[in-house]
């Protein structure tokens, strides 16, 4: 027993004398949620972007005591939402010691606990279970069996002398083992139909039946499931009676605002450790998040499979890692991602989008087009370039500018010296206390913006580019 439970009762008699009262899982969640809402606290602080949409519906479902199914495409934090429900459970809960279905000491359901309490009475030993152990999760798959979810006769116990019809010969599956807790099943439509039928009793009657055994476990369990809307509504992969058993159906969505996507990137990204400080300009944040947003509207991509938020996170990590690689080669003082580093996100994007054609050979061009659109939108929406005409005029005098991942930040200071019209907007975009690396990143951003708004020409090769006048 941990120090957190040292003062807790360790026998049934002591538990009864302590005044501890039992409540169902739904009552427990409801009471704790009511206290949280009354105190002005959110249901969870680990999920962003759902404060006015999904979370209010989830709170209502919990207050109503419903089993819940979350519908949404991949990467919409469905699993994280489910796991956050553990926060609403009491920190510690007493069970009959040794029970593998977490028997309530006052209302045992297994043959093991019933016999033990009958034998020992008030001396029945009690264990305390932390809320983190009251959550079970299963990824549905076509090969998931009834034994996995409900249980099966244990041949080892039978070989040890128990009869086949002895309840103690049973080995319970995940659902009975989740008694007095939360059972989550991801991608519910992927379950075979006969297994879905086996869940009907769990959701409606709150019990399980195992083969021909006359065993009935009156379970106290909250079932939460996830599904892709395409599988759930259109393909007939979920039987109608099972749909009907869920009290609440809640539709999730991708972040509706860029600022939310950026917050999620910052929260979830695992950045490399570096001796040099990592400084990410605001426009790189914006562009990486915007790539996912424009991808979710692209007619070239399969929108039914979705464009996960994990795309933004992986792209963010990749861009910074590529900037670190360049910094180690050039010897710059800080790691500052530039527009030229965006070429690296091809490797982190390819596996997270589905091209809506039979030919995937041009996926690199599709990704490049998404990045270009994101850069152009960021530039036109955020940069007021009064000096654009002067900058373009400067390029008419046989001026060309090289950029790329092979150039140190100090080389961009020479560019600003040779193009005086470029320096003021670069410093505005980079900020008043910008480092050399930030100035280099801002210079690339403005040059790429001028190219994408058709004011400069560009010859590109991978992460390297040459900007020149459009008049030659």
Measure the CA angle with vertex 46, ends 287 and 73; round to 5°.
Answer: 60
464 versus 335: the higher-pLDDT residue is 335
170 versus 439: the higher-pLDDT residue is 439
Mean pLDDT of the region 98-112? 92
CA distances from 130 to 5, 58, 82, 219, 372 (A): 10, 23, 17, 19, 50
Among 48, 231, 66, 173, smallest CA distance to 57 is for 66
* Total number of domains in the chain: 2
CA distances from 339 to 84, 107, 215, 222, 281 (A): 37, 64, 65, 48, 10
Domain end among 225, 251, 277: 251
Claim to verify: residue 206 and residue 225 sit in the same structural domain: yes
How many residues in total does the chain contain?
A: 472
pLDDT higher than threshold 70 for residue 165: no
| Domain CATH code at residue 196 | 3.40.50.300
Q: What percent of the chain has pLDDT over 70?
A: 91
Claim to verify: residue 213 and residue 317 sit in the same structural domain: no
**Could you report the per-residue pLDDT of 216-261, keeping only the tens digit for each?**
778 899 999 999 887 766 555 788 888 888 999 999 999 999 999 9
Contact 97, 128 (CB under 8 A): no
**Could you report the per-residue pLDDT of 12-26, keeping only the tens digit for each?**
999 999 999 999 999
DSSP one-letter code for 397: T
Contact 142, 192 (CB under 8 A): yes
pLDDT higher than threshold 50 for residue 201: yes
Claim to verify: residue 267 and residue 363 sit in the same structural domain: yes
Side-chain half-sphere CA neighbours of 422 within 13 A: 27
Query: How would residue 3 be classed by pLDDT, with cut points 50, 70 and 90?
Result: very low
Alpha carbon distance 287, 383 (integer Å): 13
Claim to verify: residue 202 and residue 346 sit in the same structural domain: no
Alpha carbon distance 115, 111 (integer Å): 6
Claim to verify: residue 194 and residue 103 sit in the same structural domain: yes
Claim to verify: residue 241 and residue 317 sit in the same structural domain: no
Mean pLDDT of the region 188-194? 87
Domain end among 220, 251, 282: 251
62 versus 44: the higher-pLDDT residue is 62
Measure the CA angle with vertex 5, ends 17 and 37; round to 5°.
Answer: 90
302 versus 2: the higher-pLDDT residue is 302
Contact 444, 336 (CB under 8 A): no
Alpha carbon distance 58, 53 (integer Å): 9
pLDDT of residue 159: 67
pLDDT higher than threshold 50 for residue 168: yes
Domain end among 207, 234, 251: 251
Q: Which domain holds residue 210?
A: 3-251
Contact 315, 348 (CB under 8 A): yes
Q: Given CA atoms 66, 72, 74, 75 in this order, what sign does their dihedral have?
A: negative
Claim to verify: residue 239 and residue 371 sit in the same structural domain: no
**Could you report the per-residue pLDDT of 58-93, keeping only the tens digit for each?**
999 999 999 999 999 989 999 999 999 999 999 999
Claim to verify: residue 319 and residue 394 sit in the same structural domain: yes
Residues in contact with 465: Cβ distance below 8 Å, sequence separation at least 6, in sequence order: 340, 402, 403, 404, 448, 458, 459
pLDDT higher than threshold 50 for residue 302: yes
Claim to verify: residue 235 and residue 269 sit in the same structural domain: no
Claim to verify: residue 363 and residue 398 sit in the same structural domain: yes
Claim to verify: residue 204 and residue 311 sit in the same structural domain: no
Mean pLDDT of the region 302-307? 86
Torsion angle of the four alpha carbons 372, 374, 378, 381, in this order, in degrees rounded to the nearest 10: 100
Claim to verify: residue 99 and residue 236 sit in the same structural domain: yes
pTM given for the model: 0.86
């Amino acid at each position: 027993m941990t120090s957190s439970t040292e003062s807790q009762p360790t026998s049934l008699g002591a538990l009864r004398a302590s005044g501890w009262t039992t409540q169902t899982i739904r009552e427990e969640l409801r009471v704790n949620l009511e206290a949280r809402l009354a105190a002005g606290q959110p249901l969870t602080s680990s999920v962003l972007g759902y404060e006015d949409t999904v979370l209010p519906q989830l709170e209502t479902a919990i207050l109503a005591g419903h089993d819940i199914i979350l519908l949404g495409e991949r990467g919409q934090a469905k699993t994280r939402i489910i796991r956050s429900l553990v926060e609403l459970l009491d920190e510690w809960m007493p069970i009959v010691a040794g029970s593998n279905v977490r028997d309530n000491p006052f209302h045992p359901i297994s043959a093991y606990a019933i016999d033990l309490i009958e034998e020992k009475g008030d001396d029945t030993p009690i264990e305390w279970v932390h809320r983190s152990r009251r959550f079970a999760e299963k990824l549905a798959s076509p090969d998931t069996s009834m034994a996995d979810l409900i249980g099966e006769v244990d041949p080892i116990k039978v070989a040890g002398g128990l009869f086949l019809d002895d309840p103690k010969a049973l080995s319970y599956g995940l659902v009975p083992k989740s008694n007095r807790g939360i059972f989550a099943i991801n991608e519910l439509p992927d379950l075979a139909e006969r297994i879905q039928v086996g869940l009907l009793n769990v959701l409606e009657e709150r019990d399980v039946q195992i083969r021909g055994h006359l065993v009935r476990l009156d379970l106290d369990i909250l079932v939460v499931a996830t599904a892709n809307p395409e599988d759930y509504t259109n393909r007939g992969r979920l039987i109608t009676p099972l749909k009907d058993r869920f009290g609440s159906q809640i539709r999730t969505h991708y972040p509706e605002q860029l600022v939310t996507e950026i917050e999620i990137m910052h929260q979830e990204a695992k950045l490399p450790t570096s001796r040099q400080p990592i400084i990410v300009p605001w426009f790189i944040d914006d562009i990486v998040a915007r790539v996912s947003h424009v991808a979710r509207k692209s007619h070239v991509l399969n929108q039914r499979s979705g464009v996960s938020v994990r795309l933004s996170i992986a792209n963010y990590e990749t861009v910074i890692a590529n900037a670190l690689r360049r910094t180690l080669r050039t010897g710059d003082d800080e790691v500052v991602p530039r527009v030229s580093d965006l070429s690296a996100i091809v490797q982190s994007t390819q596996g997270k989008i589905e091209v809506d054609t039979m030919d995937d050979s041009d996926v690199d061009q599709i990704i490049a087009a998404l990045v270009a659109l994101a850069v152009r939108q960021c530039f036109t929406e955020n940069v007021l370039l009064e000096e654009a005409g002067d900058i373009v005029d400067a390029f008419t005098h046989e001026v060309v500018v090289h950029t790329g991942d092979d150039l140190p930040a100090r080389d961009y200071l020479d560019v600003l010296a040779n193009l005086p019209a470029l320096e003021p907007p670069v410093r505005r975009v980079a900020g008043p206390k910008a480092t050399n690396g930030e100035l280099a990143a801002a210079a690339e951003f403005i040059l790429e913006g001028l190219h994408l708004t058709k004011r400069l020409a560009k010859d590109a090769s991978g992460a390297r580019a040459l900007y020149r006048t459009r008049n030659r």
